[in-house]
Amino acid sequence: MRTTTRVAVIGGGVVGCSVLYHLTKLGWTDVMLIERSELTSGSTWHAAGGFHTLNGDTNMAALQGYTIRLYKELEALTGMSCGLHHVGGITLADNQARFEMLKAERAKHRYMGLDTRILGPEEVAEMTDGLVNVDGIVGALYDPLDGHLDPSGTTHAYARAARMGGAEIVLHNRVLGLNPRADGTWDVVTEQGTIHAEHVVNAAGLWAREVFAMAGTYGPLLPMAHQYLVTDDLPEIMAFLDKGKEFPHVMDPGGESYLRQEGRGLCIGFYEKPCEPWSVDTTPWDFGHELLNEDFSKIEDSVAFAYRRFPVLERAGVKRVIHGPFTFAPDGNPLIGPVPGLRNFWSACAVMAGFSQGGGMGLSLAQWMIEGEVERDPRGFDVARFGNWTTPGYTVPKVIENYRMRFSVAYPNEERPAARPFKTSPMYDVFSGMNAVWGQQYGLEVVNYFALPGEPAYETPTFKRSNAWEATRQEVLAVRNGVGINELSNFGKYRITGPNARAWLDRVMAGTIPQPGRIALNPMLAESGRIIGDFTVSCLSETEFMATASYGAQGWHMRWFESHLTAGVRVENVSDTRTGFQIAGPNASELLKRVTRSDVDSLRFMDCRRMTVGIADCLVQRVSYTADLGYEIFCDHMSQRHLWNILWAAGQDLGLRPFGMRAMMSLRLDKWFGSWGREFSPDYTPAETGLDRFVRYNKPADFIGKAAAMAEKASGPGRRLASLVVEAGDADVVAWEPIWLDGKVVGWCTSGGFSHFTNQSVAQGFLPPDRIVDGLPLEVEILGERRPARIHLAPLWDDGGRMRD
């Protein structure tokens, strides 16, 4: 056994072996894997072994496609069989909402290169030789890539490929402790001795929580007991085989089940509502190749439903029952990447769909470690999406909720209730009393809109326009015609201080670092030139700055800041201690004048100034995401209620009205302002999105990503962001809808919605630069229907200069 290594991967399941292989594939050969028992111990050995590409996150879907295509490459490389069966997959829709979801997913696949198609009930019956009862089926989605494999054979193929690349695998060697050194390396204490590793990867699966604890941190994941049945041989399946065919995968979300062929019988598994968390606090170290006791009681209703959908099962004998645990994160996505707050400690955990996602997750983590960033936007699986506010008390109910809703329709406006409310601002009870309808971001309750009198304080999940429509419209009009007020709690806020603060910001940010009393918009780039942050930077003095960005990106941004810190700079995350309100609309200036003695008229657009507002010390900035005259008023969180009281009292005759994020996202569309996570993300560059107007290519500082940004500027981007007006009917663009031109898909939407002030459905999306011509007619596919649209380059609304004058 090596006593020193560049990377120590802890855990010999499919994910750990995939990480090990991809590290060698990308050029790191001094790597090793440490396994407490045999390879595949834990969840891998009893997995059902199915794989599919369907995923609401387009990057996850693409990485699942990579995983599936990788298996033949592994077989060719190692000479080992993965037991591949590309039988194709059918996902059933038993109601219109689910069918709309499948049509939306099919639309995304058009520009992803995935060859999926929509089926009618008759086609489903034909493809399954009538073994699926299609009564009540509206339609289905078919994916020819779907199938199943041999979990053990696939894991061992990864392991052999890694060994061929120079990796070492040590079995029967439990990790006992992890001790960090001052230089960021680790001593990995094992039963067979101590290994000095530059990097440690936690791929410990069922034991990932214990490994996180060894490193002094908490990992938000929980094992769930999952059960599937394998039938005796069935004549109907043997008839399939006699024809030289295999029975396809059938996902029946309405019945919480998946069905596939297993030998000459069938295998059916369930995501049942009365589910069972397993080993809630700790996983026993002596657990491994055992199964849990059979528990038919929790799947009785699911089995009864399955008998109706798949009548052949009622005549089938049960050959064996597989009941074992596997791990989930609170949202069901993997936990991958550098763990915030630790140096050289990486997570490769909670990959519950290991044979759909394991290859893509192994590739992504290896790219992150070796190249410093990931080929695809990792935010959907980045471990940093859960901050240090997560606890077991949060994780357990969220994982249970996710398991229960694994096959539920995922609506774009859905807000799931488990473990809420958790983090709340000082305004929570006040706004709740005003009929606030709450959303959640990074654990914080955020107002989506205020329900009108007599309406319920919740939004109906839908793919179309919801019951929030009229309330949102009224909030938008209140801002445009009077003055609106909105909390600033859901901004990520960072205080940067020290003698080298300006120089450090000039290196980390790609734009201008403003002079005292001014603010500037700043893209933050990775070395590749892709966007990893969209910031407003405020200069309070030569040694004190504030940077604001998306609240949900705190873990991501703080990890980046800390990894690039230099002497003479301090960065503090003050997101929850610095809060306040923004006020926006034509009466915003008058409202501010009524509550401060400071000179409001001299505050220019993009100015910032300390002011006493009421009796609170505040930082006031003249800027607004509403595309209107506006001010951001920041204060200490202990002063927020006072600030609310004086603003609310002073604004009654000015038409002051609170507004939420639904109205905000409508207002920003009037000037085509982009949104973090939609128009601006690590998938895109400044020149593609228009953020290049804020990049200072000629500034002396060698900012991160400068070389790549300069190269793109010289060559020009291959796509650009365009703005569209859409004849949308009753369902507006959300994101990822394909854009059609001349009968071909030429781009996709990044976001959209309804501009309530101009009474138009609109969208933004990427198109080839030479096709972005004002007024050009095209089509946007929404829920499977191609809707007429046209390019509209000018702002929808002329504010008469009041935002800037």
pLDDT in tens, 700-726: 999 999 999 999 999 999 999 999 999
- State the pLDDT at residue 111: 83
Q: What is the pTM of this model?
A: 0.95
- Quote the Cα angle for 335-340-345, to 5°: 75
Q: Which domains does the chain have, with CATH numbers?
A: 4-328 (3.30.9.10), 490-575+685-714 (3.30.70.1400), 718-797 (2.40.30.110)
Rounded CA-CA distance 228/269 in Å is 4
Give pLDDT tens digits for 282-317: 999 988 778 888 888 899 899 999 999 999 999 899
Closest to 261 in 3D by CA, of 46, 52, 87, 53? 87
- State the pLDDT at residue 453: 95
Q: Where are the alpha helices (DSSP H) in 382-421?
A: 392-404
Closest to 343 in 3D by CA, of 166, 173, 179? 179
- State the pLDDT at residue 344: 98
b or e along 171-199 (b: 16 or more beta carbons within 10 Å of the residue's beta carbon)? Answer: eebebeebebeeeebbebebeeeebebbb
pLDDT-flagged residues of the chain (< 50) = none
- State the pLDDT at residue 289: 78
Q: Tell me which residue has tokens 């894991």.
A: 155
Rounded CA-CA distance 270/213 in Å is 31
- State the pLDDT at residue 385: 96
- State the pLDDT at residue 47: 81
- State the pLDDT at residue 791: 98
- State the pLDDT at residue 804: 87
482: three-class secondary structure by DSSP: coil
Closest to 57 in 3D by CA, of 378, 483, 336, 293? 378
598's enclosing H/E stretch is: none
Are the beta carbons of 354 and 360 closer than 8 angstroms? no
Share of the chain above pLDDT 70, in %: 100
- 491 forms bridges with which residues in the sheet? 550
- State the pLDDT at residue 179: 98
- Quote the Cα angle for 155-365-528, to 5°: 145
b or e along 86-96 (b: 16 or more beta carbons within 10 Å of the residue's beta carbon)? Answer: bbbbbbbbbee
